[in-house]
Amino acid sequence: MRLTRFAALSSSLLLGAVLALTGAGAAQAAETAALDYVALGDSYSSGVGSGSYDSASGDCKRSTKAYPVLWKNANAPSSFAFTACSGARTGDVTANQLGPLSAATDLVSVTIGGNDAGFADVMTTCVLQSEATCINRVNQAKAYVDSTLPGNLDSVYNAIRSKAPAAHVVVLGYPRFYQLSGSCIAGLSENERSAINGASDYLNAAVAKRAADHGFTFASVVPAFTGHEICSSSSWLHSVNWLNIGESYHPTAAGQSGGYLPSFNGAL
């Protein structure tokens, strides 16, 4: 029943323009309103970097400008639970975020894996240490993606499916961070920027494979962010911010609304 309802929603989204022209848009709204949606994951889902944080979320820094809230505001699902949390790893999702999931859940979104792979330490190493040390740290992260991350992802994906057996699960990836040969005149070397971009692609490929193996939909955000990376003329990502280090290398509000939200919509 739930799968059928979500399939109907997907069809109605594809036909949205026709429905609006024929006055049948109410049918699409009714399908969307019948959905129970749960948003899981790390800081890229909680909205770190976009501001407007819900004080009740504390260190999780859930933003009213994060893509799950933007989708909720535009579609008015019948229920919405937002448990994504800054700094979350796969084990944090399984331990702390799955409470709202149930057999009634229709839609789940999640970003996870970057913190497991040591993203924050990679960026700190690359900003503060030599090019050789940076690239070595990137290679260590890629080795972790090969050896350990797949099992961690399997654990969290299995837990999601167990608690929400009928849900359509959308796993979103991470952007490339730098526009190579861009406008940056200081900071990391081009070799470092290229290595970091390559590591992001490597992580996304691993996440996409595990998502597909579990029957989940992977949504790449790389196309949406292309032209809006750091060192572009219109970046949707914060560069290093010494005054607010936690927001460094996270999407801005424009990155959430122009990058993550359309990518999520495209996976429905």
User: pLDDT per position in the chain (268 positions), as tens?
Assistant: 344 445 545 544 444 443 344 454 455 555 566 899 999 999 999 999 999 999 999 999 999 999 999 999 999 999 999 999 999 999 999 999 999 999 999 999 999 999 999 999 999 999 999 999 999 999 999 999 999 999 999 999 999 999 999 999 999 999 999 999 999 988 999 999 999 999 999 999 999 999 999 999 999 999 999 999 999 999 999 998 887 888 999 999 999 999 999 999 999 9
Residue 246: predicted pLDDT: 87
Instruction: For each of the domains in the chain, give its residue range(s) and CATH number, in order of start.
Output: 35-266 (3.40.50.1110)
SS3 of the chain: CHHHHHHHHHHHHHCHHHHHHHCCHHHHHHHHHCCEEEEEECHHHHCCCCCCECHHHHHHCCECCCHHHHHHHHHCCCEEEECCCCCCCHHHHHHHHCCCCCCCCCEEEEECCCCCCCHHHHHHHHHHCCHHHHHHHHHHHHHHHHHCHHHHHHHHHHHHHHHCCCCEEEEECCCCCECCCCCCCCCCCHHHHHHHHHHHHHHHHHHHHHHHHCCCEEECCHHHHCCCCECCCCCCECCCCCCCHHHCCCECHHHHHHHHHHHHHHCC
Residue 225: predicted pLDDT: 98
Pick the catalytic residue from 12, 63, 250, 263: 250
Residue 182: predicted pLDDT: 95
pTM of the predicted model as reported, rounded to 2 decimal places: 0.89
The answer to whether residue 250 is catalytic is yes
Residue 222: predicted pLDDT: 98
Residue 30: predicted pLDDT: 55
Pick the catalytic residue from 43, 109, 220, 263: 43
Residue 241: predicted pLDDT: 80
